[in-house]
Amino acid sequence: MHSRGCPPSPDALQERPRGRDGPERPPVAVRVDVRVERPHHGYRRPAGGFVHAASGAGGNRHGAGRRIGETPAHHTAHISSVAFSPDGKTLASASRDSTVRVWDAATREQIGHALVGHRSGVTSVVFSPDGRTLATGSMDQTVRLWDRATGRQIADPLEGHTAGVAGVAFDPGGRTLTSWSEDGTALLWNVEATVDPVRFLCRWARGAFTADRWRDEVPPGPATRPLCPES
């Protein structure tokens, strides 16, 4: 199996001050040696059982070394990337037709509508660790975030690369997204504020606005209710 592009080693990434204004998008750029390959993605189901290999306008599923079926060919161009959700129940496919589609891995039926927004072929798709968000990279030089439940794009595209995006990957905590490009750079994006603003603000405020300070400075009343969990 091949992957499109090689993700940079975390040890090679060094933070650099924010160089672009804009709400909720603090990219951290670093120059890295990114080797980009053209072959399509293959992806193993997290729970085991079968592999989905992207090839052509459809796709092939292989279980225990044998082919077990084909993905319905709803895409109109080559599939460039596939990814399973963390629980292995859902599969996302990205295509050169500029769309992403989400599938039920068991029934092979498409879930919802195609994710449309990229202006050129989509090269990479990945689920967040909690399975609630999809991140995509495209030859239109942008990275986009999508709400898995609604299929809607989250906020504005993440822009910063000067050539096509070759791949995207979340960190294990889902707070940071790495994108690497044919321009030879990798960008780190703080996506927590965009994907889960309540959790982000609660984590930020907890250190400076304690429960005791809340009780001292915010008058109690029917309109007052806690927004953040205690832990």
Residue among 227, 42, 195, 44 at smallest CA distance from 129: 195
Burial 32-60 (b: 16+ CB within 10 A, else e): bebebeeebbbbebeeeebbbbbbeeebb
Contacts of 61 (CB under 8 A, 6+ apart): 50, 51, 52, 53, 67, 68, 69, 70, 71, 108
CB 102 within 8 A of CB 145: no
Distance (Å, rounded) from C-alpha 110 to C-alpha 98? Answer: 17
Looking at the predicted structure, is the pLDDT value of residue 145 above 50?
yes
What would the pLDDT profile of 78-96 be if each residue is shown by its tens digit? 999 999 999 999 999 999 9
Q: Are strands 115-116 and 99-104 parallel, antiparallel or unpaired?
A: antiparallel
CB 180 within 8 A of CB 135: no
Cα 86 vs. chain centroid, distance in angstroms?
12
CB 179 within 8 A of CB 198: no
Looking at the predicted structure, is the pLDDT value of residue 45 above 90?
no
pLDDT score, position 201: 65
For residues 42 and 122, which has the higher predicted lDDT (pLDDT)? 122
Distance (Å, rounded) from C-alpha 192 to C-alpha 19? Answer: 19
Strand partners, 51: 44, 62
Radius of gyration of the chain (CA): 20
pTM higher than 0.85, yes or no?
Answer: no
Over pLDDT 90: what percentage of the chain? Answer: 45
Domains of the chain listed by start with CATH number:
22-202 (2.130.10.10)
pLDDT score, position 211: 65
Give the model's confidence band at 67: pLDDT under 50 very low, under 70 low, under 90 confident, else very high.
Answer: low
Q: What is the chain's mean pLDDT, rounded? A: 74
pLDDT score, position 169: 96
Looking at the predicted structure, is the pLDDT value of residue 173 above 80?
yes
Using left for φ > 0, alpha for ψ between -120 and 50, and beta otherwise, residue 88 falls in left
